[in-house]
Structures are given as structure tokens and as C-alpha cells.
Structure 1
Amino acid sequence: MSEQTIAVKAKQVEEIVEKMNNASSMVVVDYRGLTVEEVTDLRNQLRENGVSMSVLKNKLLQRAADKVGLEDLKDTFNGPTAVAFASDDAVAGPKVLHNFAKDHAALELKGGVIDGKVASVDEISKFATLPSREELLSTLANILQAPVRNVAYAVKAVADSKDDGDAA
């Protein structure tokens, strides 16, 4: 291999390392058997949820995994491999891929990383069923508003009862 080729591959490994370090979750999939339309649909769904998917060479992925300390993930890098990187919402990538795999048997989840820890397919599937960050924040906001809302209702009820008492 020429020095130029080695330099290009080293740069690619560094780019993958950066993606791995910035990802809150990462899912490795085998996409064999999906049509071009299905892959395009999957990429669009991922993009809408802030997730990027890349088809990468297994050797480059293995070298990057070594550099970031994810050696246990190297077993998933065989055959045609695509990796979905989610940086903002850790649940987004696993959720989209899990739901897409339910409807498209050709998409096979192989493993991944959630919050820096290697996760099995079962763990990714369980993680995918969790509510998204926005859903959790909405639920939290509703829980925090409930006591204030109840006090407001009580004050209004007292005010209404006093108004009724004055009218009589």
C-alpha cells in the first residue's frame, strides 16, 4: 500500500473515531436485501430524527473501535455494515431502526453502543421502546405543572364559592 493510501485510510479512521466519540448512541446494522427505495426511506427517517447513517468498511470500523475502547463491538463488523450515529437524542436512532426492522425483515440489527457502553441487540430493542427525550420532557413538565394547576383550581373554587355567597 502506498503512503498516500495509508494516510487517506488513517484520516477515515480518525473521522470515524470522532463520530463514535460524539455519538450518544450508535447502532450497527446489516442492510443486505433492502431495495434502494427502502434504504432511501430509512435514511430519510433517520435524518428527520437527527441521526446519520454511513456505510463503512469493516476494517476501518475495527480500527476506530480499538481507538475508542469499544473492542467488544468489533464482532458486529462483518458483512455489509452500516452504522447509525445519533448525537442529540440517544433513543432516536435505535427507535427508528427498531421500528423499520419490524416492517422490513431484511434489516438486521447487529449491535451498538448506548452512552459509551456496548449494547446487544436485545438491549437496543429495549432502549428503542423508551419514550424519546421530548416525550420525557413533556411528561416531566406536566408532572411539575400539576401541583400549581391544582392550587389554581382550589383558589378559583374558593373565589367562586364566595361570589355565590355574596349573591345570595
Structure 2
Amino acid sequence: MSEQAIATKAKLVDEVVEKFNNASSVVVVDYRGLTVAEVTELRKQLRESGVSMKVIKNKILTRAAEKAGFDDLKDTFVGPTAIAFGSDDPIAAAKVMHNFSKTAKALELKGGIIDGKVASVEEIATYATLPSREELLSTLANILQAPVRNVAYAVKAVAEKKESDDGDAA
């Protein structure tokens, strides 16, 4: 192999290491058997969730995983492998891949990384069922607003009662 080819592969490994380190989540899948239409739809759903998907040679992925400190992930790099990198929402990649695998039986989850730790298929499925960040923030906002809303209703009820009592007295 020429020095130029080795340098190119080393650069690819470094780019994948950077993706591993910058991603809040990584999901490894076997995409064998998906139709072109299914892959297109999957990529669209991933893009809408802020997740990128790449097909990378297993040897490059193995070297990058070793270099990034995710040795336990190396076993997932067998056969046709696609890898999804999520950056914003730590469960977005898991959620999209898990939900898509329910309709497209050919898509097989192999494992991944969530929040800097290697995750099994079962852990990815568990994370995928969690509400999204926006849903959790909305729930939190509703919980925080409830006491204030209740006080406002009580004040309004007291004011209305006082007005009706004043109206009866006149």
C-alpha cells in the first residue's frame, strides 16, 4: 500500500475519531436489505432530527473506535455497517433508528454510544422510548406553572366572590 493511501486512511480514522468524540450519541446498524426508498426515508428522518448517517468501512471504524477509547464497540463492526452520529439530542439517533427498525425489519440495531458510554441494543431501545428533550422541558414547564396557575385561580375566585358579595350588599 502506498504512503499516500496510508495517509488518506489515517486521516479518515482521525475524522471518525473526531465524530465519535463530538457526538452525544452514536448508533451502529446493519442496513443490509433496505430498499433505496427506505434508506432515503431513513436519512430524511435522521436529518430532521439533527443526526447524520454514514457508511464507513469496518476497518476504519474499528481503528477509530480503538483510538477514541470505545474498544467494546468493535464487535459491532461486522458486515454492512452504517453509523448514525447525533450531536444535539443524546437520544435522537437512538429514537429514529429504533422507530424506523419497527417498520423496516431489515434494519438491525447492533449497538452504539450514548453519552460517552458504549450501549447495547437493549439500552438503545430503552433510551429510544424516553421522551425527547423538548417533551421533557415542556413537562417540566407545566409542572412549574401548576402552583402559580392554582394561585391565580384562587385569587380570581376570591375576587369574583368579593364582587358578587359587594353586588348583593348594594
2:126 maps to 126
- Distance, in Å, in 2 between the alignment partners of 1:63 and 1:164 is 78
Query: Is 2:107 the counterpart of 1:114?
Result: no
- Equivalent residue number for residue 21 of structure 2: 21
Give the drift of 1:68: 1.1
Say which SS state the counterpart of residue 33 (structure 2) adopts: coil
Deviation track 1:68-98 (CA, whole Å, cap 9, x = no partner) reads 1100000000100000000000111111111
Equivalent residue of 1:150, what SS? helix
In structure 2, the partner of 1:34 is 34
Structure 1: unaligned runs, 5 residues or longer:
none
Q: What per-residue deviation string (whole Å, max 9, x for no partner) do you get for residues 5-30 of structure 1?
A: 11111111111011101111100000
* Residues 107-158 of structure 1: CA deviation (Å, up to 9, x unaligned): 0000001101111101100110000000000000100111111111111111
User: Displacement, 1:58?
Assistant: 0.5
Structure 1 length-normalised TM: 0.99
Mapped to 2, the partners of 1:106 and 1:124 lie a distance apart of 17
Deviation at 1:38, TM superposition (A): 0.5
Q: CA RMSD in A?
A: 0.6
TM-score by length of 2: 0.98
Identity of aligned residues (%): 74
For 1:78, give the aligned amino acid. V
Give the letter for the 2:23 counterpart. Answer: A
Q: Which amino acid aligns with 1:81?
A: T
Q: Which runs of 4+ in 1 moved over 6 A?
A: none
How many correspondences in the alignment? 168
Partner residue in 1 for 2:150: 150
- Segments of 5+ residues of structure 2 without an aligned counterpart are none
